[in-house]
Structure 1
């Protein structure tokens, strides 16, 4: 009995509580400490980036949500203009506008082609680059060059290759599609998806190369000892080992694809042919800037953000899984 009493009395206080002097009572930390944590200096170092995120991302997003509920239009600073509240009218118009619906179908086609290609090709190429010894640096730089090159320059090369009288059509001869790749309603968006995959591949290869450095070589040695070949090692060791990087690549490729603008604007002359390569961001630019309907454009943008958040959550849920404790 005495042992039980001593064990209870000598037990350490619960986490986050401090014994009160002269009594067995405990009290919670002050509110400031609960908000800022035990090391408030971290907030000081994080403050510049926090201000950047609020000013560049959070405030514009909140203001876009606000504009989407009004018949909003831009005016000179200080001008007193009427911007009537329209409720969900902008959203209803967006969901019933065939042009907007077609743009979301277009970007869906783009993501279906671009995201799997990006993940598969970047992982395969990163694994190959990680295993070779000769010309490793040269090959890594070669894959990264298109990513850092200006889009205008690379698009000029793409037009030279896939234009109506481009090099690819001359090689294919009678097998060339008619209309040509970027003028064909069925091939315009797939052609853009392949171009974007090629251009951004170097960035995702670097992400996978960094992830491959954290996969223990002992796992490959154990798999080889058990008789696993290269393909089996890749599927059983490499793919699970770089799963966090795969989730990141999926998310970044989805966000980049959903914000597609430059490529259809330059490659197909602003969403042609027949609007089959128009993206939601391109429509936001046309409606908000060119046609002066920023409230309607904001509604399209909010719908796009919600869609990307849903897709990102699904990717993290089904691909990322849960960390094992």
Structure 2
């Protein structure tokens, strides 16, 4: 004997509605799966702070390599530390800001700052159009473009020591440049000692640093859409108009970064003047890193040289702060940027 099971309530409602002529009953509403009850379990500290753990190796390395030497240099700048008190430098006399006062009033640091900033500005101003022109010239495809790009990068990939040594050899009284000028009936005088030393330093710095501007300008040109070039060609834009209104706006960011890094690199460049001119340096090229080195390892005034190094750090931090502030303001004005 077979017993029929009782239909479900939804089935009975549908049959009753059909019997009264009301049409099919509406389908039951599916509210989805029933949410599981909250057990009150939360992520522990280990899981929540796991990304911070990944910063520990880099943070420790930065602390040991950058922060500790920086704080140590600032502390030494307040000491009367020289060759006599170096062995017991922790017990060296504390003289406060006397090293900074002496650096500004007696050591010629203001002249060195002027030389560093002026030669850096001249080198940056000259390398800027050279790098942009080279980037524009090698942007489009042509036969031998890879070879030309490789040749353009030679001054930049060579180490500073090699560059300075090669140019020092050519600028010597028996060097290639001096002999060639003599054959042309020109008496250039001494390049490495005399009134021409400042311009020799500027020239070699320009030769070795313009490919950096070229690299960043070329990277900015690669970001220009082909549709933009096609639209400018359809509108009949001339080459100067195309450069000014189509290409140059794309180069604003890379060129700004290249100018900042180039200026900071020129101001902090010690290898080039040291290898090019030797020690003691001519007065016209006694830039700030050179003066700091000579004060420390010629005069053995380590506290005074530490004060000069702190002044150099402040000098470098000023344009860096201005650039970072400008980037932050530009990001805030961009739609979708943080206010």
Q: TM-score range by the shorter chain?
A: 0.7 to 0.9
Query: Do 1:284 and 1:301's aligned partners in 2 also have CA atoms closer than 8 Å?
Result: yes
Of 249, 253, 257, 2:266 maps to 257
CA deviation vs aligned residue, 1:25-45 (integer Å, no higher than 9, x gap): xxxx99x98xx9x97443334
Superposition map of 1:163-242 within 5 A: 163-173=172-182, 176=186, 178-185=188-195, 187-242=196-251
Deviation at 1:163, TM superposition (A): 2.8
Question: Structure 1 residues 63 and 98, CA, compared in 2 at 3 Å: closer, same or farther?
Answer: closer
Give the equivalent residue in structure 1 for 2:63. 54
Of 72, 77, 81, 1:68 maps to 77
| Structure-2 separation of matches of 1:234 and 1:286 | 47
Of 153, 164, 168, 1:155 maps to 164
Is 1:281 the counterpart of 2:263 in the alignment? Answer: no
**Partner of 1:181: helix, strand, or coil?**
coil
**Partner of 2:108: helix, strand, or coil?**
helix
| Structure-1 separation of matches of 2:280 and 2:231 | 52
Q: Which one has a bigger Cα radius of gyration?
A: 2
CA deviation vs aligned residue, 1:221-253 (integer Å, no higher than 9, x gap): 222333322222222222221222112111211
Query: Do 2:198 and 2:284's aligned partners in 1 also have CA atoms closer than 8 Å?
Result: yes
Moved more, 311-320 or 145-154: 311-320
CA deviation vs aligned residue, 1:11-70 (integer Å, no higher than 9, x gap): xxxxxxxxxx9xxxxxxx99x98xx9x974433344333333222222222221221112
Query: Do 1:163 and 1:182's aligned partners in 2 also have CA atoms closer than 8 Å?
Result: yes
| Structure-1 separation of matches of 2:320 and 2:155 | 26
Query: Do 1:265 and 1:271's aligned partners in 2 also have CA atoms closer than 8 Å?
Result: no
Moved more, 55-64 or 166-175: 166-175
Superposition map of 1:17-56 within 5 A: 40-56=49-65
Question: Structure 1 residues 233 and 52, CA, compared in 2 at 3 Å: closer, same or farther?
Answer: farther
Give the equivalent residue in structure 2 for 1:123. 132
| Structure-2 separation of matches of 1:302 and 1:118 | 28
TM-score (norm 1): 0.77
Of 288, 301, 320, 2:309 maps to 301
Unaligned runs of 5+ residues in structure 1 are 1-20, 22-28
Please give the root-mean-square deviation of Cα atoms over the aligned residues, in Å.
3.0
Of 115, 123, 136, 1:114 maps to 123
Query: Do 2:213 and 2:255's aligned partners in 1 also have CA atoms closer than 8 Å?
Result: no
| Structure-2 separation of matches of 1:272 and 1:176 | 26
**Partner of 1:72: helix, strand, or coil?**
coil
| Structure-2 separation of matches of 1:318 and 1:177 | 48
Moved more, 278-287 or 130-139: 130-139
| Structure-2 separation of matches of 1:80 and 1:289 | 16
Give the equivalent residue in structure 1 for 2:33. none
| Structure-2 separation of matches of 1:191 and 1:218 | 45
